[in-house]
Amino acid sequence: MTRFSRRFATCLCLCAVLLAGSRLSAPASADDVAERAKKLHFSSIVLDTHDDTTQRFFAKGYDIAKRNPDGHVDIPRMIDGGMNAIFFSIWIDGRIMGPPAVQKALDQIDAVHENVRKNSRDMVLCRTAAEVREAHKQGKIAALIGVEGGHMIGNDIHVLRMFGDLGVRYMTLSHFYNDEWADSSTDKPVHNGLTDFGKDIVREMNRQGIMVDISHVSDKTFYDALEVSKAPLIASHSSCRALCNHPRDMSDDMIKALAGKGGVIQINYERSFIDQAYKDASDKLTGGVVAQFDLFKKECGDDQECFGRKMAEKQKQAMEEGKLPHVSWERIIDHIDHAVKLVGADHVGLGSDFDGADMPEGMEDCTKLPKITEALMRKGYSDENIRKILGGNTLRVMEQTEKVSRELQAQ
Amino acid sequence: MLRTFLTAGILISAGAFLAAIVTADDISARARKLHFSSIVVDTHDDTTQRLLDGKFDLGVRNDTGSIDIPRMKEGGLGAIFFSIWIPSKVTGPEAVHRAMTQIDAVREQVRKHPKDLLLATTAAEVREARKQGKIAALMGVEGGHMINSNLGVLRSFAALGVRYMTITHSGNDEWADSSTDKAVHNGLTEFGKDVVREMNRLGVMVDISHVSDKTFYDVLETSKAPPFASHSSCRAICDAPRNMTDQMMKDLAAKGGVVQINYHVGFLNQEYRQRATPEIAIQLREEVQKHCAGDDEGCQLIEGERVTREFVAQGKLPKVEYTAIIEHIDHAVKVAGIDHVGLGSDFDGANMPFGMEDATKLPKITEALLQKGYSEGDVRKILGENTLRVMTEVERVSRELNGGK
- C-alpha distances (whole Å) from A78 to each of A39, A75, A140, A236, B319 are 16, 5, 11, 19, 70
Q: Do B155 and A114 touch (CB under 8 A)?
A: yes
Q: Where does A224-361 show beta strands of DSSP type E?
A: 234-235, 264-267, 348-350
Rg from Cα positions in chain A: 20
| Backbone dihedral region for residue A362 (phi beyond 0: left; psi -120 to 50: alpha; all else: beta) | left
pLDDT in tens, A275-289: 999 999 999 988 877
Task: For residue B227, give the amino acid letter.
Answer: P
Mention every residue, 6+ apart, whose C-beta is less than 8 A from residue A345: A381, A385, A388, A389, A393
Cα gap A311→A309, rounded to integer Å: 5
Would you give the DSSP letter of residue A29? P
**Nearest-CA neighbor of B345 among B235, B210, B231?**
B231
Strand pairing report for A211-213 and A168-172:
parallel
What pLDDT was estimated at residue A29? 63
pLDDT given at position A3: 33
For chain B, say whether A67 makes contact (Cβ under 8 Å): no
Residue pair A354/A372 in contact by the 8 Å Cβ criterion: no
Least confident of A209-213, B210-214, B241-245, B305-309: B305-309
CB contact under 8 A, A165 and B96: no
| DSSP notation for A335-393 | HHHHHHHHH-GGGEEE---BTTSPPPBT-SSGGGTHHHHHHHHHTT--HHHHHIIIIIH
Using CA atoms, how far apart are residues A277 and A270, in angstroms rounded to an integer? 13
- Asked if A158 lies within 8 A of B100 by C-beta distance, the reply is yes
Q: Give the up-direction half-sphere exposure of residue A296: CA atoms within 13 A in the CB hemisphere.
A: 22
CA torsion angle for A14, A15, A16, A18 (degrees, to 10)? Answer: 90
> pLDDT tens for residues A208-227?
999 999 999 999 999 999 99
Q: What is the pLDDT of residue A27?
A: 52
Q: Is A98 on the interface with B (CB under 8 A)?
A: yes
Mutate to test the interface with B, among A162, A166, A406, A411 (most CBs of B within 10 A): A162
Per-residue pLDDT band at B370 (split at 50, 70, 90): very high
Give the pLDDT confidence score for residue B18 in this predicted structure: 45
- Per-residue model confidence as pLDDT tens digits over B232-261: 999 999 999 999 999 999 999 999 999 999
The pLDDT tens digits for A7-41 are: 333 334 444 444 444 444 445 566 799 999 999 99
Cα of A89 to nearest chain B Cα, Å: 17
Contacts of B96 in chain A (CB under 8 A): 99, 102-103, 106
CA angle A187, A189, A192 (to 5 degrees): 150
To the nearest 10 degrees (0 to 180), the angle between helices B323-336 and B363-371 is: 60
Q: Are B166 and B209 in contact (CB under 8 A)?
A: yes
B326-342: average pLDDT:
98
HSE (CB half, 13 Å, CA atoms) of B338?
Answer: 10
Q: Is residue B199 predicted with pLDDT exceeding 90?
A: yes
Measured distance CA(B346)–CA(B304) in Å, rounded: 14
N-terminal to C-terminal alpha carbon distance within chain A = 48
∠ Cα A64 A67 A68 (to 5°): 80
Q: For B174-178, which contacts have Cβ atoms below 8 Å and span 24 or more sequence positions?
A: B174/B91, B174/B144, B174/B145, B174/B149, B175/B144, B175/B149, B176/B144, B176/B211, B176/B212, B176/B215, B177/B211, B177/B212, B177/B214, B177/B215, B178/B88, B178/B210, B178/B211, B178/B212, B178/B215
pLDDT of residue A183: 98
B76: left (phi over 0), alpha (psi -120 to 50) or beta: left
Which of B82-120 are b and which e, b meaning 16 or more Cβ less than 10 Å from the residue's Cβ?
bbbbbebeebebbbbbbbbbbbbbbbebbeebeebbbbb
Question: Taking a C-beta distance cutoff of 8 angstroms, is the pair B8, B270 a contact?
Answer: yes
Specify the 3-state DSSP secondary structure of A51.
strand
Angle in degrees, CA B373, B377, B383, rounded to 5: 90
> A154: which chain B residues are within 8 Å (Cβ-Cβ)?
97
Beta bridge partners of B107: none
Q: Which among A219, A233, A314, A234 has a CA at the least distance from the CA of A271? A: A314
Distance CA B82, CA A184 (A): 39
Please tell me the distance in Å from A156's CA to the nearest CA on chain B: 8
Q: Is A100 near chain B, with CB under 8 Å?
A: yes
Per-residue pLDDT of chain A (411 residues; tens, 9 = 90+): 333 333 333 334 444 444 444 444 445 566 799 999 999 999 999 999 999 999 999 998 899 999 999 999 999 999 999 999 999 999 999 999 999 999 999 999 999 999 999 999 999 999 999 999 999 999 999 999 999 999 999 999 999 999 999 999 999 999 999 999 999 999 999 999 999 999 999 999 999 999 999 999 999 999 999 999 999 999 999 999 999 999 999 999 999 999 999 999 999 999 999 999 999 999 998 887 788 778 888 888 777 778 777 877 888 888 888 889 999 999 999 999 999 999 999 999 999 999 999 999 999 999 999 999 999 999 999 999 999 999 999 999 999 999 999 999 988
Contact B101 A156 (CB under 8 A): yes
Q: What is the ipTM of this complex?
A: 0.88
* Predicted pLDDT of residue A289: 76
Closest CA to B168 of B154, B152, B181: B181
B93·A409 Cβ contact <8 A = no
Q: How far is CA A324 from CA A1, A275, A276, A327, in A?
A: 21, 11, 11, 9
Report chain B residues touching chain A, CB-CB < 8 A. 92-94, 96-98, 100-101, 103-105, 107-108, 111, 148, 150, 152-153, 155-156, 159-160, 405
**What's the rounded mean pLDDT across residues B27-43?**
97
Helices B297-313 & B278-291, crossing angle to 10 degrees?
120
Closest partner CB to A106 (pick from B105, B108, B156): B156
Q: Is residue B24 scored above 60 in pLDDT?
A: no
Measured between alpha carbons, how far is A239 from A241 in angstroms, rounded to an integer?
7
What's the pLDDT band for B2 if we cut at 50, 70, 90?
Answer: very low
3-state secondary structure of A89: strand
CB–CB contact A156 B97 (8 Å): yes
Q: How far, in whole angstroms, is CA A244 from its chain's centroid?
A: 16
Chain B partners of A102 at a C-beta cutoff of 8 Å? 93, 96-97, 100
CA nearest neighbour of A130 among A405, A312, A408, A402 = A402
pLDDT for B305? 87
Pick the closest to residue A367 from A123, A80, A141, A84 (CA basis): A80
Which residue out of B86, B98, B104, B150 would a mutagenesis test of the A interface target, given it has the greatest number of A Cβ atoms within 10 Å? Answer: B104
**What is the per-residue pLDDT for A339?**
98
Chain B residues with CB inside 8 Å of A98's CB? 93, 97
Interior angle at CA B354, CA B236 and CA B313, nearest 5: 110
Strand A264-267 relative to strand B205-207, pairing: unpaired
Compute and round to an integer the Cα radius of gyration of chain B: 20
Q: What is the mean pLDDT of residues B81-103?
A: 97
In total, the C-beta contacts within 8 angstroms joining chain A to chain B are 66
Write the residue in B96, B104, B111 that is nearest to A106 by C-beta.
B96
- For B300-314, b where at least 16 C-beta lie within 10 A, e where not — what string? bbbbbbebbbebbee
